[in-house]
Amino acid sequence: MKYISTRGQGGEKGFKDVLLAGLAEDGGLYVPKELPQFSAEKISSLRSLPYNELAFEVIKPFVNGEIEDSILKGLIDDSYASFAHTAVAPMTQIGHNEWIMELFHGPTLAFKDFALQLLGRLLNHVLTERGERAIVLGATSGDTGSAAIEGCRHSDALDIFILHPYQRVSEVQRRQMTSVLDDNVNNIAIHGNFDDCQSMVKESFADQSFLPENTRLVAVNSINWARIMAQVVYYFHAALQVGAPDREVAFSVPTGNFGDIFAGYIAKGMGLPVGKLVVATNTNDILHRFFKDNDYRKQELKHTLSPSMDIMVSSNFERLLFDMQNRDGAALASLMDSFQQTGTLSVSDSAWDDIKVLFNSSRTDNESTCSAIKELFDRTGYLADPHTITGVRALAEVDIPEEMPKVVLSTAHPVKFGEAIEKAGLETPALPHHMADLMEREERYSVLENDLKKLHGFIQEHSKHS
């Protein structure tokens, strides 16, 4: 298993190098040169496995022996041992042939825990093995930050700096990050939006000359291939429970950065019978506009009741575009350069028609978010958060064969988004017992202007590498 950049430069890399690099040297994203193939017989053989053992079988080919199997299995076992539900990703039926897969039973109550609990352990293992230390630099629109901090806080080999848009994440989301007081954890609120934070992270990776000597940046955002790799597992987990490999399965996925749904695309490429992938967005709908009209155009970012999807430009979309350009790195690089200059892109009609066979999309505004939360609760007693509900609502918006099982990926616990729940006319649930005192915990974070030099100065000052 080798990895290549979407922009065609830099040659082939192994898993460990891709893990530590995050973003490729040419500004592209790493993808496998070829995907491992799982036959129907192989997929059937996985049906009875608990989640951690399934994860080992799905992840092992991507690591390709660079981490000894017994060590890799131990890291995976540790990653999911702290999840609050023994099924790790339990399924709840909400209608005829419709399920919600709950991905919020990890330590920070969001789907990001599935990847980041493992990523932190992988990074610590490889860095310790190499006798290195590193700085984690990431941006969050709400959930990535707390999951990354939880995954990295105990690592002796890492300092972590997480940027979030000032006053644009929910209070629960902010406090989950800022109440972690470990010496290696640094939370920074940036005056701006998520895209400003993400842009600063990308620029920092592109030019790391500001770093202390003998230090590297590592990425925990979904640009890091290991994030996608870990998320592929729960597509297999859900599909096996609703009839795979004997039945095709549709997935409806709330997404802003395209990482969570791209993992489903990878699962299909490995042989999982994924019949349809539905991109569920809020009014920041660049992905919906692409799949509806072949129009990927920057627009003004809007603040919504589903803030983790308040993203103007989807980082992982480049990985799909690479395949749509027939894996031609030079063509993809030219397309992305044009997008950088003009703020818009489209693909050939034939490429767009081909990808639409698998993908569909839906957009949900704030008003529809609240009404759909209430409707689902009244109908089933199930309380969905404002991101998950976009996936539920999308099932009614798009055409999926009635006989095809439909799975919505539930991305977060509703307690994290009390404003939306209350606007839906319902009561916000209580915090789970392990974080019942969250609102009383001491907070620590810094507020910075949207200024790259100031950010770099802060990192230099607060890094233990200095």
d(CA 169, CA 75) in angstroms, rounded, equals 31
Instruction: Reduce the DSSP state of residue 93 to 3 states and report it.
Output: strand
d(CA 225, CA 190) in angstroms, rounded, equals 26
Q: Show the CA angle centred on residue 451, arms to residues 449 and 452, nearest 5°.
A: 140
Name the β-bridge partners of 134: 158, 216
The CA-atom distances, in angstroms, between 273 and each of 182, 239, 454 are 44, 8, 48
Strand order in the sheet with 249-254: 91-95, 98-102, 406-410, 249-254, 274-281, 359-363
Residue 150 phi/psi, 5° resolution?
-65, -35
* Helix, strand, coil share (%) of the chain residues, nearest 5: 45, 15, 40
The DSSP bridge pattern shows strands 91-95 and 98-102 to be: antiparallel
Q: With beta carbons less than 8 A apart as the criterion, state whether 364 and 281 touch.
A: yes
Residue 112 annotated to the active site: yes
Residue 185 phi/psi, 5° resolution?
-105, 125
On the 0-12 / 13-18 / 19+ scale of CB atoms within 10 A, 214 is: exposed
Beta-strand runs (E) in 236-348: 249-254, 274-281, 296-297, 344-345
Instruction: Reduce the DSSP state of residue 67 to 3 states and report it.
Output: coil
Give me the residue label for tokens 């791209």. Answer: 262
Say which of 13, 16, 112, 202 is annotated catalytic: 112
User: How is residue 129 written in tokens?
Assistant: 């093995």
Q: How far is CA 99 from the centre of its chain?
A: 21
Beta-strand runs (E) in 318-420: 344-345, 359-363, 406-410
Catalytic residues: 112
